[in-house]
Structure 1
Amino acid sequence: MTKRASKSTLNYYDENAVEFACQTVSIDMHDLYELFISQLPQRDTQSVLDVGCGSGRDANYFAKQGYEVTAIDASAELIQWAQKHHMSSRISWVHLDFSSIKNQAWENKFTGIWACASLLHVPFLELPCIIESLLETLTDDGVMYLSFKHGEGERVDEERFFCDMDELRWKTIVANIPQVIEYDIWLSSDKRVDCKDAWFNVMIKRENNPIRSSVK
């Protein structure tokens, strides 16, 4: 993605922050929450990194479960909206772009990473590096959830850049990640009533086992 395309995507979210947040803050994600939570390691305390937190919907849910949440987004306007509408001492709101994750002192900090519909704005060739930096922030038994729109390429739609994903493209990314990961992939329908997009979901577990994939 060119710097111009990246800037266009960020500008879209900054300029449409209120509308976007209002459209997404009430989407029912409970089935995905339950799946994610069931995969978290057995710990007395859970620490979750919400990557691309948007409206803060998911960060707020995890905070209500008693988890410590670090919620990041590259859009300053969305961070401000989320912080204003979700008052929780368990959430740390951070204005941060994905490329700066590697510069944070977060090594082995999080038991879970939630990247719901966020890394889909990262160019395909940059994804292995971003995912690698995220894996470094996980505890040894931590899990990471990611979702992309299902497809075979990259495109710009309504000023936003999208990197779509399918099984073949995902396997290419995995081949370029140094860490050994175990993962499951599956397709799901869009949670929005007026949208018919299919979603490509990934659940990664950071372990010292050979890579495997199962499609649900």
Structure 2
Amino acid sequence: MNDILEGYAKSATPEFIARYNELDCAEVYSPVLDLLPQTPLRIADIGAGTGRDAAWFAAAGHRVLAVEPVKELREPGMRQHISPNIEWLDDKLPTLSKAQNYGRFDLITLCGVWQHIEDRDRQLAMLSLGSMAASGGKMVMSLRHGPAPLDRPVFSICPDETIELAKQYGFSLLRRVETGSIQAGNRALGVNWTWLAFQMTDPSI
């Protein structure tokens, strides 16, 4: 994980950040858009990057904990997205040891994050996420499949295994959607995504 974070730190050029920020959140989240909360709630955005999604949620009135371990992404985000509804936190998977001190959340998002977690760490990561989800709260994950830059490697992900792992920690599957990439460059490389949406139905686990 540290090598991947270093890769993101080195890639955090103004051009990289601009490409990330220019993506439309409604388009990014379109596979699960109708499942997102309509009334202001508490959201944990895990792997928040420069805060594109956190700012979108905050603009809708939600209170967002933007969790981002890469300083080179987090600090530009803090400068760009100044909002009383966003609190930034330097923390990372699999333990999320700091984020767990913030209580439980109505929505947890992991957009383009899970593929960076090695298989050996995914059980601990899901345990951490389960401890942060409110009863009845939702978790949305996008799983990337396909090639990635050498300095930001991804690990193979089986959606079925991810679903079963989530079930072990109290989550029930609400939706599974397979999509192509919204970025032309990634589409050309054969990148595709699986979107998973869960609901916490047994927080006692």
2:165 corresponding residue in structure 1: 173
Which residue of structure 2 lines up, in the alignment, with residue 61 of structure 1? 56
Query: What is the aligned-residue identity percentage?
Result: 21
Out of 186, 192, 195, the position equivalent to 1:198 is 192
The alpha carbon displacement at 1:149 in A equals 1.2
Contact 1:17 1:77 in 2 (8 A): yes
Q: Is the 1:53–1:73 Cα contact (8 Å) retained in structure 2?
A: yes
What are structure 2's unaligned runs of at least 5 residues? Answer: none
Q: Which protein is richer in helix relative to its size?
A: 2
Deviation at 1:157, TM superposition (A): 3.8
Q: What is the RMSD of the two structures over their aligned residues, measured on CA atoms? A: 2.4
**Which residue number corresponds to residue 159 of structure 1?**
151
Structure 1 pair 194/161, CA: closer, same or farther in 2 (3 Å)? closer
Structure 2 counterpart SS, 1:101? coil
Task: Tell me which stretches of 4 or more aligned residues in structure 1 moved more than 6 Å.
Answer: none
C-alpha offsets along residues 125-180 of structure 1, whole Å, 9 cap, x if unaligned? 211221221121111011011111136xxx874212312323343355346x3425
Distance 2:171 2:42 in 1: 22
Give yes or no for contact 1:41–1:142 (8 Å, CA) kept in 2: no
Q: 1:185 aligns with which of 176, 184, 187?
A: 176
The equivalent position to 1:21 in structure 2, one of 17, 40, 44, is: 17
1:122 Cα deviation from its structure 2 partner: 0.5
Q: Which amino acid aligns with 1:77?
A: E
TM-score (norm 2): 0.84
1:99 is paired with a residue whose SS is coil
Cα deviation per residue 1:85-106 (whole Å; 9 max; x = unaligned)? 1111110011111134145313
Does the 8 Å contact 1:184/1:202 carry over to 2? yes
- Unmatched runs of 5 consecutive residues or more in structure 1: 1-5, 209-216
